[in-house]
A and B are shown apart, each in its own frame.
Chain A
Amino acid sequence: MATTTLEPRTAGYRRAWVLDWLTTVDHKKIGILYIVNSFLFFFAAGILALVVRSELAVPGMQFLDQDTYNQAFTMHGTIMLFLFIIPVLSGFGNYIVPLQLGAPDMAFPRINALSFWLLPLGGLLIFSGYLFGGAAAEGWTSYAPLSNRAEGVGTDLWIIGLALVGTASILGAVNFITTIFKMRAPGMTLFRMPIFVWTILVTATLILLATPVLTAGLIALFIDRNYGGSFFDPSVGGNPILWQHIFWFFGHPEVYIVILPGMGVVSEVLPVFSRKPLFGYKAFVFATIAIGLLSFSVWAHHMFTTGGALFLPFFSFMTALIGIPTGVKMFNWLGTLYRGKLVFSSAMLFALGFISMFLIGGISGVMLASPPIDFHVQDTYFVVAHLHYVFFGGSVFAVFAATYYWFPKMFGRKLNEPLGKIHFWIHFIGFNLAFFPMHELGLLGMPRRIADYADRPDWVILNFMSTVGAFMIAVSVIPFLINVIATFINGEPAGDDPWEGNTLEWATTSPPPPYNFDRLPPIHSERPLFFLTHGHGHAAERPDDLEEGAEEDAEHRKGVV
C-alpha cells in the first residue's frame, strides 16, 4: 500500500525564483517587495528634487520651462509621500510586526499581496502622465479650482493613481489592525507589544479613518473634471474651500501616518544601543494615542490664510496641544539615553539624527500654529523647510535607521559599519545645508512653488547653498548603495541576534524561516529577549515587574486583554 507523507506546503511546490516573488503571500517577502519598490520610487522622486534644485540654483529660467517645473515639484511631492515614505514604513511594518508579535504571518496574506501590488500600478499611472502630454502640475495638494480646470489627462491619471494607492493603504491598515489584535503570541499583551507595533497600530487606525475621505474627494474631483460635476467650481455653484477641508482632513493625519512609525523605529533602536529599556513605555504609548486623536482636529491650520468663516483660535489651540505629547516623547527618548551605555552603530546614528532633526521640524511646526506668524510664512520656503525637517529629517532618517537595524534580520548579513557612518555624515550635513537655509528664505518672503525668483543677493546665496546641499544628499546615497551591494556579495554574517535586541524578531534565525518561529521564548514584558539573554536577575530591579506581568498573564488567559 502506498503511503502519503504530509510535508509543509512550502517545501512541496518549488516555483521559479521570479514567479515565487510575484506570487508570494509571505509577509516577509511582501515586506521586502514594499521596501525595494519604495526605494525605486524614492530615487525617481529624488532625481526630480535635483531637477527642481538645479533650476533654482540661480535666478532666471535655466533649462526647464515653467510648466515642466510645476510638473517636477508636483511629482516629487506626490511620489515621495504616497509611493516612498508611507509604503516603505508599511514595508518594515509588514516584515517586522508579525515577527515582533510572535505570529507566523499577517492575518490576511492574500490581501497583503494585493495591497502591495496596487502600489507599483498606482505609481506608474501617476508617472504615466509624462507620456500623455504632461504629468499633473497642481502641487501635491491639487487645490480646486485650479485642479478642476487643469487640462490634460495628467491630472486624471494622478487622481486615479492616488485612489489606487489609497485603496492599497486602506487594505493594508485593515490587515495590520487585525493582525495586531488577533495574532499575538500567548503572553504578548497589548502593553507588552513593542513600541514599533504600537505606532503601526495607531498609524493603521489613522489610515483607516482618513484615507477614505481623500478617496471620496478624489472621486468628486474626477466627476468635476470629467462629468460636469460642480463640487468645487465656484462658477457653477461649487465651493473651492470644500476641497481644502477634505484634503487636509486627510492631509494632516497623513503627516502622522508618516511620522509615527518613524518614531516607533527610533524607539526600538535607541533602547537597544543604549542598553536600557525605553524610558516611560506607557507614557510613550499614551502619547502616541493622543497624537493620533488630536491629529483629526487640526486640519484647518493649513488654511489659516483662506479667511472666510474659519474659526482660527480652535484650530490654533488644538495644533498647539499636539506639541505636548510630542514633547513628552522627546523627553522620553532623552531619558532613555540618560545614563545609558551608548553604542554608535549606523542605526543609532540615524536614530539620533532623527531626534535632532525632527526637533527642528517640531519647533517650526509649533511656530506655524500661531496664526499671525503663519500669515507671514505660510506658502513660503519656511513651510518647505518645515515639511522636510519632519518628513526627511524625521521619517527618512528613521527609514535608514530601520534599514541598518533590520537588514541583518532580513538577509542574514550586517551592513558595513564604516560605510554606514560615511553615509550618515554626508547625508546629515547635506540635509542641513539643503534645508536649513530655506527657513530664512521663507522668512524673507520667497514663496514656494515658483519656477523662478527675484534676483536678490540674499535669496541667491541661500538658494545656492540649498542646491549644493541637495547634491550632497544625492552623493550620500552612493556609499549606501555600494554598502548594500557589497554586503550581498560578501557581508559579515549576522547571526540571529547581532545587536543584543529586546524584541521577538531576534529570537528566530536571520532570515527567519517561512513560518517565522520554531519556538518562542516566554513573554513576560515588552523585552522578552532581554530577559532571555540577561536572565531575570535584572528584573529584580523592578520588583513589581514580574508581579504586574503575572497579573496581565492571568487577564490574558481570561481573554480580557
Chain B
Amino acid sequence: MQPKAPHSRLRTIVRIGAPLLLIGLLSGCLLPPDPKTDAAKDVFNLYLLVLALAAIVFIGVEGFLLYAVFRYRRKPGDDVLPEQLHGNNTVEVIWTLIPTVIVFTLFGFSMITLGEVNAKADNPTTIHVDGFQWQWTFRYEDGPSITGTATDPPVLAVPVGEPVRLVLNALDVNHSFYVPEFLIKRDLIPVGENGTPNELEFTVSEEGTYSGQCAEFCGVAHADMTFSVEAMSRDAFEQFIASGGATPPPAEGDCSTTIQLAAVESIQFDTDSIEVPAGEDFCVEFTNNDIVPHDFGVVETQFNGDDVAPGESITYQVPAMEAGDYTFICTLHPTAMVGDLSVTE
C-alpha cells in the first residue's frame, strides 16, 4: 500500500467546490419547461430522477479523471515504471454491477411513467389533427375545421382539466405533433386506407397558450409548421366550437373574367402563369385535386383566399388590380406553389 498523500487545502476546496458548482450548473440549466399536462408532470419527475443519476455518474467519472490528471502526473526525470497492474476480477465484477443497477433503476421507473403517459381515458374530447406539407388542419367533431398558414399558424382549442384525444393523420409525408410544455410528441404517419392513425391523449392542467411545432422533418418548409394550443374552460371551448363552426360561404362569382385554376398532385398548380385584365374584379374558380389543402393568394396585394380541402372547389373574387406583374401563390405552400400573374390593360 502506498501512503496516502497529504491533503492540500486547494485540493479540499476543489473536492467540495467542484461538485457543488457542477450540480448548480446542471440543475440550473438542464431542465425542460414547466410541465402543463398531468402526464407531463410524471415525465418531469422521471427526468429529475434520471438527471440526478446522470449527475452522480458525471461527477464521479469526470471527478476521478481530473483527480488522476493531477495526482498521477509523471514527474520530469522519473524513469521508474509504475506497478504493472493488469486488472482485477473483483473490481471488474463490482464495476459491472454499478451500471447494471443504474440502468435497471432507470428502466423500472421509465416503464411506470410510460404507463401513465400512454393511459387512455373513457370519454375524451376527440379532435382530428391532419398534418400536411406544410401546415396543420384541426378538425373538431361536429365543429369547425381550421387550417393555418405559415404567417398565421392555427390554434388548437382544448378544454382544460379534461382528457383530450388527438387522432393524428398525415396526408402526405411524416410529421410530428410536438408541444414542448406537454413534454411529448407523437408522429403523424401516412397509413394509407386501411391503417390506424396514431393517437395522443393528454389532460392539460392549466389554462394558457402553449406553442408547438412539427418535429419530424417533412421537406422544404418544415420550419413553418408551427401552431399553438389554447387550453380554455369547458364553456369557452364550447363557444369556440359554436362560433368557429361557420366557415364563410364561398364568394359568388360576379365578375366578367373567370380564370380556371387547379392544384394538382404533389403540391403544384396546373399552370404557372395567369393573365387577367386590369382595373376590374376577376374571379378564380379554384379546384383542389391534390391530397392536401390549398388556397390562392397574391403576394403583392396580400390577397389570401380561404383554404380548400382536397377534392373541393371554390370561386374567389379578387379585387381589381393595376396593370403590372404579380406573383400568385398558395399561401400554405408559398415556396412550392408560385406562378406569374400578369395584369394587363
Question: What residues make up the interface of A, taking CB atoms closer than 8 Å to B?
Answer: 65-67, 70, 137-139, 143, 145-146, 149-151, 234-235, 237-238, 240-241, 274-277, 279-283, 305-308, 312-313, 316-317, 320-321, 323-324, 326-328, 330-332, 334-335, 337-344, 352, 355-356, 359-360, 363-364, 366-367, 369-373, 375-380, 439-440, 443-445, 447-454, 534, 538, 541-542, 545
CB-based contact B223/A453 at 8 Å: yes
- The smallest beta-carbon distance between A377 and chain B, in angstroms, is 8
CB-based contact B110/A370 at 8 Å: yes
Is B300 in contact with chain A by the CB < 8 A criterion? no
Known: A320-B106, A340-B82, A341-B82. 11 other contacts (CB 8 A): A70-B217, A146-B174, A276-B83, A282-B87, A307-B198, A327-B96, A327-B102, A370-B107, A373-B110, A440-B29, A542-B86
> For residue B213, which residues in chain A have a CB less than 8 angstroms away from its CB?
445, 447, 450
> For residue A440, which residues in chain B have a CB less than 8 angstroms away from its CB?
29-30
CB-based contact B85/A276 at 8 Å: yes
Contact of A375 among B33, B185, B189, B291 (CB under 8 A): B185
> For residue A312, which residues in chain B have a CB less than 8 angstroms away from its CB?
114
- The smallest beta-carbon distance between B315 and chain A, in angstroms, is 29
CB-based contact B99/A327 at 8 Å: yes
CB-based contact B54/A376 at 8 Å: no
Q: How large is the interface on B (under 10, 10 to 19, 20 to 34, 35 or more residues)?
A: 35 or more
CB-based contact A379/B216 at 8 Å: yes
CB-based contact A326/B189 at 8 Å: no
Is B272 in contact with chain A by the CB < 8 A criterion? no
CB-based contact B61/A376 at 8 Å: no
> For residue A281, which residues in chain B have a CB less than 8 angstroms away from its CB?
86-87
CB-based contact A305/B176 at 8 Å: yes
Bound-complex Cα distance A274 to B81 (A): 10
CB-based contact B83/A339 at 8 Å: yes
CB-based contact B103/A371 at 8 Å: no
> For residue A338, which residues in chain B have a CB less than 8 angstroms away from its CB?
68, 72, 85
Bound-complex Cα distance A316 to B224 (A): 32
Closest residue to A343 on the B side, CB-wise?
B74
Bound-complex Cα distance A50 to B172 (A): 32
**With A281-B87, A328-B92: A274-B107 Cβ-Cβ less than 8 Å:** no
CB-based contact A150/B219 at 8 Å: yes
Query: Nearest 10 pairs between A and B by C-beta?
Result: A445-B180, A327-B99, A307-B198, A341-B74, A450-B223, A280-B87, A234-B192, A370-B110, A320-B103, A331-B95
CB-based contact B32/A444 at 8 Å: yes
CB-based contact A445/B178 at 8 Å: yes
- The smallest beta-carbon distance between A378 and chain B, in angstroms, is 7
Secondary structure of the A contact surface, majority rule: helix
Contact of A327 among B98, B172, B217 (CB under 8 A): B98
Contact of B107 among A306, A307, A320, A352 (CB under 8 A): A320
Closest residue to A280 on the B side, CB-wise?
B87
- The smallest beta-carbon distance between A372 and chain B, in angstroms, is 4
Selected A-B contacts with CB under 8 Å, 30 pairs: A143-B216, A146-B217, A149-B172, A149-B173, A235-B190, A276-B85, A280-B88, A282-B87, A305-B176, A305-B185, A307-B189, A313-B111, A320-B107, A324-B99, A331-B91, A339-B72, A339-B82, A339-B85, A352-B69, A355-B61, A372-B46, A372-B114, A379-B215, A380-B215, A439-B30, A443-B32, A445-B179, A534-B81, A538-B84, A542-B84
Is B100 in contact with chain A by the CB < 8 A criterion? yes
CB-based contact A324/B187 at 8 Å: no
- The smallest beta-carbon distance between B329 and chain A, in angstroms, is 15
> For residue B214, which residues in chain A have a CB less than 8 angstroms away from its CB?
447
CB-based contact B223/A66 at 8 Å: yes
- The smallest beta-carbon distance between B208 and chain A, in angstroms, is 15
**With A66-B223, A334-B61, A445-B178: A366-B103 Cβ-Cβ less than 8 Å:** yes
Interface centre among A356, A367, A372 (most CB of B within 10 A): A372
